[in-house]
Amino acid sequence: MLHSRAWRLDPAPVLIADRVARHRDPAHAAAPAEPFPAYVATPVDSGPAPATARGRVRFTDRRGLSHAFIKIAPGTSLYATGEVAGPLNRNGKVTVCWNTDAFDYTDASRSLYQSHPFVLGVRRDGSAFGVIAQTTRWCRIDLRRGILFSTRGYSPPIAIIERESPDQVVRALADLTGHAPMPPRWALGYQQCRWTYEPRDRVLEIARGFREHSIPCDVIWLDIDAMDGFRCFTFDREKFPDPAGMMSELAGMGFHAVCMIDPGIKADPHYFVYAQGSTHGPHAAPRFVRTPGGDEYRGAVWPGPCAFPDFTSHRVRKWWAGLYGDWLATGIDGVWNDMNEPAIFDGPGKTMPVGCVHDADADLGGPGSHARYHNIYGMQMVRATREGIQAAQPGLRPFVLTRSNFLGGQRYAATWTGDNRSDWKHLRWAIPMALNLGLSGQPFAGPDIGGFVGNATPELFGRFMGIGALLPFARGHSIKGSADHEPWSFGPECEAVCRLALQRRYRLLPYLYTVFDESHRTGLPVVRPVFFADPTDPSLRGIEHAFLVGSDLLALASVHESTRETGPSPLPGWREFEIVGGGGSEPPISASRAHDQLPRLFLRPGAIIPIAKSAAHAGELDMRSLTLLAAPRKDGSAEGSVYHDDGLTLAYLRGDHEHAHYQAPPDPSGQTRIERRLDTTSRPSAIRAVNAFAVLPDGSITRVTRSGEA
């Protein structure tokens, strides 16, 4: 904590939502607060905060920075702060919100690709609070002696969310910053990427490899080398002479295609995107970011000198969105926005100078410097991209993946954890990174499976796949020049582990999709820290080799090279089970994991989850032949639900979906009988369970009866 006698208190904090108090530095209260695009709508003051909120935030200015300090009680655990490498618990850590091209980052890297000025605090008694610094500018979050936000050029309001538990705080955060939309179901399948798959024949060879090796996969990705000289919205016609034909062949094998679009536009007057963006005339407004002198700013990226669209302007976003139509018409299904911090090879700090000028919309704050808009540059890019996909493919769910984003950006795109390394440290960080992103409002995230930089060993790749196949976003990716990183590239044992890991994911897709629906509706993360099961238990606060998928499934992984042992379950009483392995194409439910490189799976007592038959891709998912897996309580009771919709369109927003609710009522004899009790659908059900099993307290598996199915 700063040693200053000049701390100031807001004498009258106000409520901006239910039990959310906003505090302002009284020395700056006369100046209007800057807009905060993390919020889905501008909060409206709803009266004074309760007396207990007063004095919680102390403000001061020192050494050219504005500071806001929140004292925490002993025993308080701190989390979130967005995309951060290292441990799950952030007590004692410093994070700097300044989006950075952090290639091959370490746990000493204070700035990564995204900025989430949010801290989750969990008190000793399990009650919780969240703290938001309402600024898009450079912001340091120092958690060494409490919570200290330090900013340049602006003293932002501080919002504090008060709730009884951490899950309630995350729900409230989503209500403020927006709920992630439902993704297309295929985006929940496994995805294969490399920098770079080329030419056409190699792309199709990879796709056929998955089918020939009987390894499930839904998506093939194309990196920058698919472009003509790194020009976005183009194809290299020598390597890919018929892009539409290639996309059609992929679709015929059950694959979707995702391709890259970067923000750097090659400064070539003969290139149509640059020519449109640099149009000058008496009525033409600039579409590219400018220097302080009014000239077009240029920085070096893959194509050489580039201009950069000013995504803070609605005019530019509309223009950018319009570029997607013809490009997507070749059969592209999703968009990958990369390098959008923005990353600039010859710029200060590998980015744009802070003095560059944006012609921002009034609701973002109006014209201003890059110092103000740097952290939301990527967010506004994916906003434009999403709008472009929606315009080009009306009625379909867009899929956008972004490297750079900001708090609230879950409204527009999924994310991954950037350019990680093929080593055991990065394997250990994969779980806490996904968890802290989820606690920061971004539920759809995961690492590059296998590690992007370097060469994985068979053991490391198998462990990466086992964990990654249970995280929300599951994509393998590797750098140019590295060894092949396809699942069959590491020998027969690793291939078998990868096949089992992905068969697990696909058998669990009905449950995972149901959890995504819960996340969309409530704002809860898809994967959650183990302490969500009992926030009052201090022994669960630092666990980062295990995680919850939804509220009913626990994954317990081995993350050290020296051993495949996981140690005991942190949640006694949860029932271990396995759904892959053994003989036959659809093995029965068993009580022990199929391979000791895979995480162990446990089911919450009282839960019922749906399991599908294994499939080559999500399009083959059969919702008419589900298996229900229950972990009945001692009295035989359990409950669960299954969510289903068409998996592709926006019809779910109009109520075109169904929830099938299953319940095993208490039975005096302790027997379990699963009944279908309630459907929320107005059409014939597409859900049908044909089998049901129970995992009993003694670890045995037994078939149980069902009733109420059509």
List b or e across 67-102, with b for residues whose CB sees 16 or more CB atoms inside 10 angstroms. Answer: bbbbebeeebbbbbbbbbbbbbbbbebebbbbbbbb
Name which of 293, 296, 273, 272 is nearest 285 in CA terms: 296
Taking a C-beta distance cutoff of 8 angstroms, is the pair 115, 407 a contact? yes
E-only strand ranges, 382-539: 400-402, 405-406, 414-415, 448-449, 475-476, 527-528
The verdict on residue 692 lying in a domain is no
User: Does 345 lie in the same domain as 198?
Assistant: yes
Domain identity same for 161 and 262: no
pLDDT at 282: 47
Tens digit of pLDDT for each residue in 567-609? 999 999 999 999 998 654 455 689 889 999 999 999 999 999 9
> Looking at the chain, how many residues does it have?
710
- Give the model's pLDDT for residue 280: 59
Quick one: how far is CA 532 from the chain centroid?
18
Residue 173 neighbours by CB under 8 Å, 6+ apart = 118, 130, 132, 161, 440, 441, 523
Q: Which of 111, 104, 58 is nearest to 84 (CA)?
A: 111
Dump pLDDT digits (tens) for 615-639.
999 999 999 999 999 999 999 999 9
612 within a domain of the structure (yes/no): no
One domain for residues 291 and 406: yes
Note the pLDDT tens digit of each residue in 426-444: 999 999 999 999 999 999 9
261: domain CATH number is 3.20.20.80
Question: Of 112, 147, 177, which closes a domain?
Answer: 177
67 and 12 within one domain: yes
Distance CA 639, CA 101 (A): 46
Are residues 200 and 148 both part of a single domain?
no
* Cβ–Cβ < 8 Å for 613, 587: no
Same domain for 322 and 225, yes or no, is yes
The answer to whether residues 124 and 223 belong to one domain is no
Alpha-carbon gap, residue 14 to 47, rounded angstroms: 6
Q: Return the pLDDT at 281.
A: 47
Instruction: Tell me if 701 is assigned to some domain.
Output: no
Averaged pLDDT for residues 29-36: 92
User: 161 forms bridges with which residues in the sheet?
Assistant: 20, 130
- How far apart are the C-alpha atoms of 492 and 484, rounded to whole Å? 15
Marked catalytic residue, from 167, 338, 518, 552: 338
Q: What is the CA radius of gyration of the chain?
A: 25
What gap in Å lies between CA 667 and CA 669, rounded to an integer?
A: 5
Picking from 398, 415, 432, the residue at the C-terminal end of a domain is 415
As given in the structure block, the two tokens for residue 593 are 């994991």
Angstrom distance (rounded) from CA 641 to CA 663: 9
**Torsion angle of alpha carbons 426, 491, 197, 400, nearest 10°?**
-50
E strand residue ranges, 234-311: 256-261, 265-266, 299-301, 304-307
Residues 410 and 402: their CA atoms lie apart, in Å, by 10
The pLDDT value given to residue 678: 73
Cβ contact 378:342 at 8 Å: yes
Over residues 445-463, the mean pLDDT reads 99
| 15 occurs within a structural domain | yes
> Which of residues 124, 156, 177 is at a domain's end?
177
Overall pTM surpassing 0.95 (yes/no): yes
Which pLDDT tens digit goes with each residue over 131-186?
999 999 999 999 999 999 999 989 999 999 999 999 999 999 999 999 999 999 99
How far lies 319's CA from each of 15, 46, 324, in Å? Answer: 38, 38, 10
Which residues form the domain of 352? 187-415
Closest CA to 412 of 440, 437, 388, 393: 388
Residue 585's Cβ-count burial label (10 Å; 0-12, 13-18, 19+) is: exposed
Asked if residue 117 is part of any domain, the answer here is yes
Cβ–Cβ under 8 Å, residues 261 and 336: yes
419 is catalytic: yes
Residue 709, pLDDT > 80, answer no
475-476/191-192 β-pairing: parallel
- Same domain for 173 and 193, yes or no, is no
CA distance 615 to 251: 16
Task: Report which DSSP code applies to 118.
Answer: E
Amino acid at residue number 329: A
Give the per-residue pLDDT at 587.
53
In the set 341, 517, 552, 578, the catalytic residue is: 341
Q: Is the pLDDT of residue 466 over 80?
A: yes
Please determine, for residue 395, whether its predicted confidence score (pLDDT) is greater than 70. yes
Residues in contact with 295: Cβ distance below 8 Å, sequence separation at least 6, in sequence order? none
Integer Cα distance of 106 and 535 in angstroms: 29
Q: Is 636 left (phi over 0), alpha (psi -120 to 50) or beta?
A: left
Q: Is 121 a member of any domain? A: yes
Locate 91 and state its tokens.
Answer: 């007590």
The fraction of the chain above a pLDDT of 70, given in percent, is 97
pLDDT of residue 6: 83
Whether 443 is covered by a domain: the verdict is no
In this structure, are residues 535 and 122 in contact, taking their beta carbons and an 8 Å threshold?
yes
CB atoms near residue 534 (< 10 Å): 13
- Residue 674 identity: I
Domain count of the fold of the chain: 2
Rounded to the nearest integer, the mean pLDDT of the chain is 96
What's the burial of 551, exposed, middle or buried (CB within 10 Å: 0-12/13-18/19+)?
Answer: middle
Residues 73 and 123 in one domain: yes
Average pLDDT of the segment spanning 516-542: 99
Q: How many CB atoms lie within 10 A of CB 291?
A: 14
Please identify which of the residues 419, 448, 518, 679 carries the catalytic annotation. 419
Instruction: Name the residue with tokens 């100046």.
Output: 31
What is the CATH classification number for the domain harbouring 49?
Answer: 2.60.40.1760
Q: Does residue 264 lie in a domain region?
A: yes
Which ranges in 178-212 belong to alpha helices (H)? Answer: 200-212
Say if residue 13 is in the same domain as residue 106.
yes
Encode pLDDT of 72-125 as tens digits: 999 999 999 999 999 999 999 999 999 999 999 999 999 999 999 999 999 999
Residues 328 and 226 in one domain: yes
Contacts of 49 (CB under 8 A, 6+ apart): 13, 14, 15, 21, 22
108 and 213 part of one domain: no
